[in-house]
Amino acid sequence: MATPQVVLPQLPPTEFEQSGQLNKMRDRRSKGRWLFWTFGLGFGLPAFLQSPSPDILPYARDYRLWTLEQLALATTYLLGPDEPMLAGETSIYDVGDSWTRGLAVAVTAARVVVFRIDSVDGQPRWIVLVGRPTDVNIEARSAVFGFLWPALKVSGWNGQWTIRGQPGMFKPEPVLDAWRQAVKGMGRTA
């Protein structure tokens, strides 16, 4: 079956959601939008040249952590409890007055999975790549070559995806380390 045909059902609530933190995060996101329109445009700079408000970064970090919890659930749903996510990262970066989080990658001991997320407030919904670590290449990109945000470029048999992240929040190293270990575990070098 082609991976775009695989659609994940609604995942169970994460600990983050059950604790009420998701609603607090959404409230902070609304405040961040107000701050952007109040102060951001006053500098006359394009949105990508403005640094995010310190009030915005905490909720973006929370979105990242929430998404990583969702990735772990989605990986377990897809591959079973015997193949847990070892590391993951999500695309989350600011675009003007909002944030985007469209892609995420999860690495297990035997597979690399790239998920497409249905919306900023949604969940990993579609699988765009599932491959053995030896059949996938993952590399870190600087902010410039990641097109103004640091990034992970994931390439596989059916294409390539760039997972961009906000500087200071984006942590590609655990994903790269887990992928290299998985490749090494299959008797090859990354």
Residue 65: inside a domain: yes
Please list the helix, strand and coil fractions of the chain in percent, rounded to the nearest 5, in that order. Answer: 40, 25, 35
- The percent of residues in the chain predicted with pLDDT above 90, rounded, is 41
Mean pLDDT of 108-126: 90
Per residue in 129-159, pLDDT (tens digit) is 999 999 999 999 876 644 567 899 999 988 9
- Tokens coding 17: 């959601």
Residue 108: inside a domain: yes
Residue 120 is predicted with a pLDDT of 75
Residue 37: inside a domain: yes
What is the pLDDT of the chain when averaged over all its residues?
A: 81
Residue 153: inside a domain: yes
Residue 42 is predicted with a pLDDT of 47
Contact 166, 93 (CB under 8 A): yes
Domain that holds residue 70: 12-185
Q: State the pTM of this model.
A: 0.80
From 12, 8, 16, 10, select the one nearest 79 (Cα to Cα): 8
CA atoms within 13 A on the CB side of 68: 17
Per residue in 48-91, pLDDT (tens digit) is 555 555 555 666 788 888 899 999 999 999 999 999 999 999 98
Q: E-assigned strands of 43-150?
A: 87-90, 93-95, 98-100, 103-107, 112-117, 124-131, 137-141
Residue 1: inside a domain: no
Residue 138: inside a domain: yes
Residue 175 is predicted with a pLDDT of 98
- CATH number of the domain enclosing 96: 2.30.29.30
Residue 5: inside a domain: no
Residue 190: inside a domain: no
Mean pLDDT of 96-115: 85
Mean pLDDT of 102-127: 91
Mean pLDDT of 106-128: 91
- Whole-number Å distance between alpha carbons of 124 and 83: 18
Binned at pLDDT 50, 70 and 90, residue 1 comes out as: very low
* Count of structural domains within the chain: 1
